[in-house]
Structure 1
Amino acid sequence: MQKKSDAVTLKSKKFINCLSSCDSISAWIPNILVFIAYIFLTIVFTYPVFFSKMVPGEADVHFYLWDLWWFKKSFMDLSSPYFTPYLFYPNGVNLAFSAITPFNGILSVPLQFIFGLTRTYTILWLLSFIISGYGTFLLVRYLSKNSKAAFVSGLIFMFSPYHFAHSLGHLNLLSIEWIPFYVLFFFKTIKEDNFKNSIYAAFFLLLVFLSEYTYAVYLCIFTAFFLLYYIFEDRNYIVNKNVIIKLFLMALSFSILVLPFAYPLLKELLLSKSSYMYSAGFVTYSADLLAFFVPSKFHPIFGQFVLPIYQNFTGNVAEFTVFAGYTVLILSMIAILRIRTKEVKFWALSTLVFFIFALGPLLHVNGLFTGTIENINFAVPLPYAIIMKIPIISIARVPSRWDAIVMLNLSVLAGYGLSYLYNRLEKRSFWDISASNYLMIVFAALILFEFLAVPYPVANMEIPEFYNSLSEDPEDYAIFEVPNIGYLAFPEYMYYQTLHEKKILTGYTHIPESSMKFVINTPYINLFFTSGDYDKYLNVSRDIFNQNITEVGPSILNYYNIKYIILHENLMSKEELSFIQKLLDNSLSTDPTYYKNDSMIVYEIMPSEETSFFIPGDGWYGLEYFNGVPSRWMSSNATLIIFSEKNYSSVLRFDAMSFNCSRTLNIAVDSSGVSGIKVPSRLITAEIPLELHKGENFVQFKVIGASERPCDIPWLNSADDRELSIAIQNITITNKTFRE
């Protein structure tokens, strides 16, 4: 009898476990249905993205396609994704602060093998909508305990005009999907005893950091504001041993997780000579007060009516689109006015704080941020005028991007407001359907209509045929794409590189000074970044050297292994095209190839007879003119690169002048054979013997005697704070004698 009883007990336990398992599965069914609903709505309300072979967005999308390609390539080559030799050749460029998005890059690697580059981008783009909606749903359901309200809140965050605006081409900024997950598990860390929530919060903050590090900064400030609020509102809620331990665990976990990814940024920030602190753009890219209440210009109905208003705003469409939605604002006000709890009060204050941050350092109203009263100009300063000076905020630069946090706050408040209305109608029904269901449908429809952005812009990613032939060439060389935007490439050039995989001389990234030096200082190359008076700019490109720039041009191109110069006619003015073609026709012996369908002119650089030439190395200040003669100052040390086609015994001749007092200038070639000359504070001509070997020769100039700043000399009355010692001009090689 005992054995039979034990058997019955065992079967009962199995049955109970089975029921528990079924309950666990059934508990997930609403979540699965919500996720499927968000997938469906994303497909519909981003039409035609899902169905198109083209890529959603425009402009910067080319950079982010390159970014995904580069992560895959660096992964395959086992190299760091934070530095690439493929841009700003031959120096390469550090990508730590170039808006790369490591989360998307890492996730894209396996996807690219399956779907290819452009389709992978579209998948990541669509996922940002689906996951951000689902994360907001989980957050608001946890806070409000109302699934219907949470579902509508998810729609607000995922389809916010801010999200649609940055989806035009900012893969990093459209990746808002992990923000609500961090906030959810941060709140769970505070409220619940489970220490796992601290780890989860740290993990999702890491995903935010890897998607867009400025969002992680925003969330750290959000976290600090939450803690500060509750220290004043309910001190015991925060200041207790259990919460402090969990917060410490969260901070420690995040620090450990983020360190390998933050290290390249910290290293570049602390050790690089380049400054990543922006001194401009804060005012231009501030959100306009009116923009929060003007429907998006992407709206298929309202867009045409609000376009004249948007034309008044400063910045660009991606940055000045911050429409909050009338329905969202009404629901948020219901929550603030009708639910008098410290939780809702926190979300209201948080919305206000980050809204003020988004407005930037000066208040903009309809594009105006200055005014006049009785002939006196004035502006309305805001707290961001102080906050923007914090280094990490300075790197972020664009105040309007705080709207990502504003929209999350409004999503939560709207959820509270809807929950309040649902509770009021809980016992009412029509045709046996709860009134709350009708209310959910009505508010969801209103929000979707206000945020409507269909058809969403898509871009054709076809690559000109010429680059296919480059991709088939296994030879390693660089190509020079012309024109450029200052020293920045058009982003299309980077996208073309994903096919041809040849190095290019520029790039569409944040440019450290070390990466710009080549195109700024290299004779002949720097001519392609100017246009106008041909003879005048030949003199500029000559720099401080006596050399015929059109004669040495081919040698410089061959020396740096630049095989093709590609002119994009459709991106050039007639004057610019004429200038560049005249330069190339006078220096190259080959005729160009015309690709009329792609508006391209291609010059192939053929091997030519080598000619000696000069290139400035490190340590020189910018080019200036003494009585019309190109000259450069140095501080203490500078280098000169001389390429010689043969071994020569020669004489190096140049003009020199010391600043304010006499100094000694020591000169060595490849660190040997030091010669010293006394340089007074007037212009002299110096000559020193020079033994050149075939190929590259490094001439080192070293000044004996301290440099001085013009601003420190009272009688000069100068604001120039450069450390100056000796200026050089008219460098030439004479008396060349061939030697074996």
Structure 2
Amino acid sequence: MNEIITKLRSFAKEHFYVIVLLLLALFFFHSIISTTKIMNNIHYINDVTFYSFNMKEAIKDGTLPLWTHYFYSGRPLFAQPEYYFIDFNFLLILLTGNIYLAMNFSVIIHLFLAGLGMYLLVNYLSDSKKAAFISALIYMFNGFMHSFVVPGNIMIIEGYSLIPFTFFFTIKALKNKNFIFNSIIAGLFIALQIFVGGVIFLPYIFLLIVVYSIVYLADKNFTNRILKLAIVGILILVIGLGVSAVKLLPGLEFLNLSNRSAGLSYEQYLGEPILLKNFVFTFITNVFLSGSGLTAAIGIAGLVLLVFGLEKYKSRIILFSALIVLLALFMSHETFLTKIFFSIPIFNQARHIERSVFLFAFAASILVGFGFLNLQLYVEKFKKFNKKFLFPIIISLILIELVLLQNVPQSIDVINPNEIPILDYMSKDPSNFRSINLALSTFIGATGYNYNSQLGISEIKGGSGIWFSDYVNFLAIGQNAPAKFWGVLNNKYAVLDKKTDIEDLKLVDRFEDCRDCTIWEAFGPYLYENTNYLPRYHTVPNSILVVGDNALVRQLVYNLMFQNWNPQNTVLIEGTKINDYSSEFLNRFNIILLVTGSLDENSIPKLQEFVAQGGILVPDILNGQNTVSDEAMTQLFNQTTGNFTEINITKLSSNKITLDLSGQKGWLVASERFTNFPGWKASINGNNVEIFRADNIISSVYLNGQKGKLEFEYKPNSYKRGRLISIITIILILAYAGFIIYRKKFRSGGQNKA
């Protein structure tokens, strides 16, 4: 027992400052050390909870949340760059199944890791635990944490916490003989940066490494250094991108399909640059001087240490840190440097360049550590001052300004979705439907869907700064006939904060609201039923194929949707050219609408056969008609009669939907965005069937009387390729590790024999 106590004391003494960093992280986030509390932060309550719930459900299904059914009428989720894959959140959900415990303790762990990473880095560079501890405090509690991370963007604390580790092992790779091992570890931290959703930091990590490389190469032994730098750089890049490919490749595909594919405008890239009048507030103190916008303030004590840290400017690490400080100052303001970086590909994809102030926080954290050592030497000249008091005085000043005088994160009670009366009412409806919350008028950036998802309720709107133009256009165009367009998206209920006179919405009731709640819009309180509601999956008796130029086809479909087209009995299928299809396929439709680009010289026989089978051709070019009037289209739609037949979902999981077929024939309408994203496959009893784009946004497949199971499954090739690359890279790393272990044992065994 005494031996154990002795070892514990020895451990505590050896790692005293690390233990203090952990205690400070626990103190800072003490209000969320609970499974019934959550940080009072809208992104945390909504976005992190939403993704964590989807992850929990996917883990139950034995998969990953490649897709979510619960916002934007369904779309890819895992591929979204800012959402995590492997992190402490994931591991804690896997171990405990409690998303709030996982979220809360993940935040605490990553704040501690931020300090630990900086501590290890500066301790390695300075060989001083005290200097390292001071640097860690600055990195953990500078203004960037208080102004950006905690108030609204808590998810990026994970990526922020890993940056010192990446830089630490990169430096070790360049300075030590064992550069392969350290390069691999640095590469793994790059991969982790992508896994935890820290893609926002990748351009800045690249900048840190480039600047350090320039400083590193400033040496007489230039040739050897550039060779080593090239090897280390390639290793880090290959390992980082290779291991992360399972997340990276789907993310790139996701971005290429989204609004980000066109790039960002200069205004979006610029964001809200730091103003000169806010200089002191931004970089020195956000306590004793007021200001606005982002801050990376290091405190007055931090500024003093930073100045002392610049004394030995000829040191490579000091020169590097000083250059990063200057870059941060120029980049975060709108200067010539800001415009230069906009021309660099990896930077012009990043919004809000003022976030580069975090570079100041990173470099300043290093400088203050060295500043403490220089100040210590300076104080030794004053014999009357006992230098042992210097360290506790500085620590006290830093903690007072950067922790005690700051707003410590507040928590609120976790709200059970059933405690929201309007959601509790909807949850008792057994049908599969989507809701739309109109309390916030915008289609993008909505909140509250975190509660809906936990009750199995899908939402038409959603959050995130990444969206898909075709879907947003559908919602925007649909504002002229909202209930009809929402019905196409399987909408049954609309939640509003005030009464409305939208046509075809019927008031259900007014429920109890909660204006003081962080996500007040989830409470309504007004609930309306959409009388144009359509089931998630249903067959219709009438079908129209619209063929021709893609843009013209979609424009015509929208025009038809605003006429007397009835989605209750008719589906509009999007096509290309007549000769792209067989006569058998064309005969599946009641009506074919022709637009420019739909015909060639070989189309006529197929159209003649279609008409002979009873199909209607519009315009009837076989009889010399080239145009058709709105009145004629109205009469045509009046001939479409009948009603839909619902097909119930047998099984709904994260990436797969199963329906039971009992011999239905005709077009199945799936109120799903399957055709918007590559990777969705449909099969009936294991035989693939084609999915077609319907009603400009949803999906449809043709049923030919089969009985059995119809399955829709999401398996994007980007994920499959990425997974394969990641597995191969990890196998190569393990093979290298095995080789090193074997070689050490072999040498050890040889020496013993000798």
Aligned residue for 1:328? 302
Matches within 5 A, 1:40-79: 40-46=23-29, 48-50=31-33, 53-61=36-44, 62-79=46-63
Matches within 5 A, 1:519-538: 519-521=475-477, 526-527=478-479, 537=480
Contact 1:55 1:458 in 2 (8 A): yes
Q: Equivalent residue of 2:346, what SS?
A: helix
Aligned residue for 2:724? none
Per mean C-alpha deviation after superposition, the further-off stretch among 168-177 and 614-623 is 614-623
Aligned residue for 1:88? 72
What is the CA–CA distance in structure 1 between the aligned matches of 2:222 and 2:9, rounded to whole Å? 38
Which consecutive unaligned segments of at least 5 residues does structure 1 have?
A: 1-18, 311-316, 364-380, 528-536, 542-548, 634-639, 700-740
What is the CA–CA distance in structure 1 between the aligned matches of 2:89 and 2:590, rounded to whole Å? 59
What is the CA–CA distance in structure 2 between the aligned matches of 1:332 and 1:446, rounded to whole Å? 14
Aligned residue for 1:707? none
User: Aligned letter for 1:490?
Assistant: A
Structure 2 residue corresponding to 1:294, chosen from 281, 304, 307 = 281
Aligned pair 1:409/2:402, yes or no? Answer: no
Structure 1 residue 141, shift from structure 2 partner: 0.8
Deviation per CA, 1:412-441, whole angstroms, max 9, x where unpaired? 0111111112244569888xxx94442122
**Identity percentage of aligned residues:** 17
Contact 2:40 2:410 in 1 (8 A): yes
User: Aligned letter for 2:400?
Assistant: F
What is the CA–CA distance in structure 1 between the aligned matches of 2:146 and 2:175, rounded to whole Å? 33
Q: Equivalent residue of 2:151, what SS?
A: coil
Structure 2 residue corresponding to 1:197, chosen from 182, 197, 215 = 182
Deviation per CA, 1:259-306, whole angstroms, max 9, x where unpaired? 22211012234466862622242333323344341179997x64xx61
Aligned pair 1:214/2:214, yes or no? Answer: no
Structure 1 residue 382, shift from structure 2 partner: 2.2
Which consecutive unaligned segments of at least 5 residues does structure 2 have?
A: 515-522, 572-587, 645-665, 670-754
User: Aligned letter for 2:236?
Assistant: M
Aligned pair 1:284/2:238, yes or no? Answer: no
Aligned residue for 1:479? 435
Structure 1 residue 155, shift from structure 2 partner: 0.2
Q: Equivalent residue of 1:55, what SS?
A: strand
Aligned pair 1:488/2:452, yes or no? Answer: no
Contact 1:93 1:515 in 2 (8 A): no
State the TM-score, normalized to the length of structure 2.
Answer: 0.66
Aligned pair 1:99/2:100, yes or no? Answer: no
User: Aligned letter for 1:160?
Assistant: N
User: Aligned letter for 1:128?
Assistant: H
Deviation per CA, 1:704-726, whole angstroms, max 9, x where unpaired? xxxxxxxxxxxxxxxxxxxxxxx
Deviation per CA, 1:179-206, whole angstroms, max 9, x where unpaired? 1111111111111112321121111222
Q: Equivalent residue of 1:401, what SS?
A: helix
Aligned pair 1:578/2:500, yes or no? Answer: yes
**Residues 1:406 and 1:390: Cα distance change in structure 2 (over 3 Å):** same
> Which of 1 and 2 has higher RCO (CA within 8 Å, sep 6+)?
2
How many residue pairs match? The answer is 589
Aligned pair 1:179/2:156, yes or no? Answer: no
**Residues 1:465 and 1:693: Cα distance change in structure 2 (over 3 Å):** closer
Structure 1 residue corresponding to 2:491, chosen from 549, 554, 562 = 562
Aligned residue for 2:714? none
Q: Equivalent residue of 2:435, what SS?
A: strand
Aligned residue for 1:602? 527
Aligned residue for 1:126? 108
Aligned residue for 1:117? 99
What is the CA–CA distance in structure 2 between the aligned matches of 1:615 and 1:28, rounded to whole Å? 75
Structure 1 residue 55, shift from structure 2 partner: 2.2
For the aligned residue pairs, the C-alpha RMSD in angstroms reads 4.8
What is the CA–CA distance in structure 2 between the aligned matches of 1:609 and 1:156, rounded to whole Å? 56
Aligned pair 1:231/2:217, yes or no? Answer: yes
What is the CA–CA distance in structure 2 between the aligned matches of 1:199 and 1:150, rounded to whole Å? 24
User: Aligned letter for 1:191?
Assistant: K
What is the CA–CA distance in structure 2 between the aligned matches of 1:681 and 1:606, rounded to whole Å? 34
What is the CA–CA distance in structure 2 between the aligned matches of 1:403 and 1:116, rounded to whole Å? 35
Q: Equivalent residue of 2:500, what SS?
A: helix
Contact 2:42 2:152 in 1 (8 A): yes
**Residues 1:168 and 1:188: Cα distance change in structure 2 (over 3 Å):** same
Structure 1 residue 241, shift from structure 2 partner: 4.5
What is the CA–CA distance in structure 1 between the aligned matches of 2:240 and 2:534, rounded to whole Å? 59
Q: Equivalent residue of 1:567, what SS?
A: strand
What is the CA–CA distance in structure 2 between the aligned matches of 1:218 and 1:177, rounded to whole Å? 14
Structure 1 residue 101, shift from structure 2 partner: 2.9
Q: Equivalent residue of 2:144, what SS?
A: helix
User: Aligned letter for 2:409?
Assistant: Y
Deviation per CA, 1:531-552, whole angstroms, max 9, x where unpaired? xxxxxx45xx6xxxxxxx7xx6
User: Aligned letter for 2:72?
Assistant: F
Contact 1:229 1:346 in 2 (8 A): yes
What is the CA–CA distance in structure 2 between the aligned matches of 1:192 and 1:595, rounded to whole Å? 65
**Residues 1:682 and 1:218: Cα distance change in structure 2 (over 3 Å):** same
**Residues 1:396 and 1:74: Cα distance change in structure 2 (over 3 Å):** farther
**Residues 1:269 and 1:482: Cα distance change in structure 2 (over 3 Å):** closer
What is the CA–CA distance in structure 2 between the aligned matches of 1:421 and 1:470, rounded to whole Å? 65
Contact 2:150 2:409 in 1 (8 A): no
**Residues 1:697 and 1:83: Cα distance change in structure 2 (over 3 Å):** closer
User: Aligned letter for 2:154?
Assistant: L
Structure 1 residue 465, shift from structure 2 partner: 3.5
Aligned residue for 2:411? 458
Aligned residue for 2:726? none
Contact 1:332 1:417 in 2 (8 A): yes
**Residues 1:26 and 1:58: Cα distance change in structure 2 (over 3 Å):** closer
Structure 1 residue 167, shift from structure 2 partner: 1.5
